Structure 1
């Protein structure tokens, strides 16, 4: 494949095409762990100092119920995602009754012109893998820029569990089982298999944690289920 898999238009195409079945397929392929990891990501986030923040690479908004349950004082979530298919899925099928608390920006997160010091919190679940290393550094700068002093953040991503005894089985699942499942269940769409490719390329969130620290944020790094997911959380110093 000669395409730049990290180009915004390529990422948009992948998630637009798989948006209709994304929720069910991701749950099945992770054996339900994605939902557990979203809850853990929200649990790791320090309490926001105010009511408004961003869900970046928001996808279908599956983190919103956990976020609003833990922090009922949240009054406004601005969801940013490049995929129109994911946005439509989020509102039409999942979160219509929360619509008054959700604002949408359909755009590449780097082109969305989010104002400086405009967020009491930033959360991102399973979007980091769609960035290459240069984009991750740019994203770290964006998070530091949009957070208000004292603002909190939490992010989680499927990762490569290096050192785990069962890592070969995990990689076999990502690289072999996912493509077979998409071949027979999705008629060769070749998009869910890309999610596995993004995940193995990503590695884990350690390097991203250091990028956030270089932007003068207080950062905690966590591993989940033997490193099959990793996350970062913390605050921008007041």
Structure 2
């Protein structure tokens, strides 16, 4: 059986999904993914003028308009993603007029050689689910390393809303409805259905919140819409030089 967290496997899934990912995620989440991206940006602590930072597991870059709307004077966003297809889709579909402020690194985030203390901010929307717990620990260490003292972060991910009375219906949507939509309308190779599998396996952002705290970061854990999404936001302790 394939390791669904192997970087080559993840790249293949999202390269094949890239052309229809934006529409699929928006419709099948009933618009909540867009709302949650806005909330993820709103949860990020304030940035100074001319900030530079990373969008990790950047995908199609759908968070960039929200980020640049709140922080209009951001100097640069470096998008890091393993899928070349997703980035091509981002620039062609959404962000050509922002390209002068957006750089791209096509790489496995955990294998990328991002410089220490090189970022005023780190953001990530809906990329955490593609990592297992051991990879989350490595990601937490990377975020702590690349943030400057006083640097901030915010991340969000679709989650398993344990304790919510509508949880069985939500899980049915992920495990049955999404694969059915793919088979009937998208004729895919079960790639979009993998998004549901990743989300169910992920659980919540509570685990990575604890890992970020272990790295010495200040962390706030947040639930969105009864726990259907969860997130973390905070900062690296210290003042920028």
Task: Give, in whole Å, the separation in 2 of the partners of 1:219 and 1:4.
Answer: 30
| TM norm structure 2 | 0.97
Q: Which residue of 2 aligns with 1:182?
A: 182
- Structure 1 gap segments, 5+ residues each: none
Write out per-residue CA displacement over residues 120-156 of structure 1, whole angstroms, 9 at most, x where no aligned residue: 0000000000000000000000000000000000000
Task: Map residues 52-201 of structure 1 onto 2, 5 A cutoff.
Answer: 52-201=52-201
Give the count of matched residue pairs: 237
Task: Give, in whole Å, the separation in 2 of the partners of 1:222 and 1:143.
Answer: 18
**What is the Cα deviation at residue 163 of structure 1?**
0.2
| TM norm structure 1 | 0.99
Task: Give, in whole Å, the separation in 2 of the partners of 1:67 and 1:106.
Answer: 21
- Distance change in 2, residues 1:188/1:60 (3 Å): closer
Q: Secondary structure at the match of 2:178?
A: helix
Q: Which residue of 1 aligns with 2:6?
A: 7
Task: Give, in whole Å, the separation in 1 of the partners of 2:68 and 2:187.
Answer: 36
| Runs of 4+ off more than 4 Å | none
**What is the Cα deviation at residue 189 of structure 1?**
2.0
Q: Secondary structure at the match of 2:226?
A: coil
Q: Which residue of 2 aligns with 1:210?
A: 210
Give me the CA root mean square deviation: 0.6
Task: Give, in whole Å, the separation in 2 of the partners of 1:182 and 1:207.
Answer: 30
Q: Which residue of 2 aligns with 1:45?
A: 44
Task: Give, in whole Å, the separation in 2 of the partners of 1:112 and 1:73.
Answer: 26
Task: Give, in whole Å, the separation in 1 of the partners of 2:87 and 2:67.
Answer: 18
- Structure 2 gap segments, 5+ residues each: none
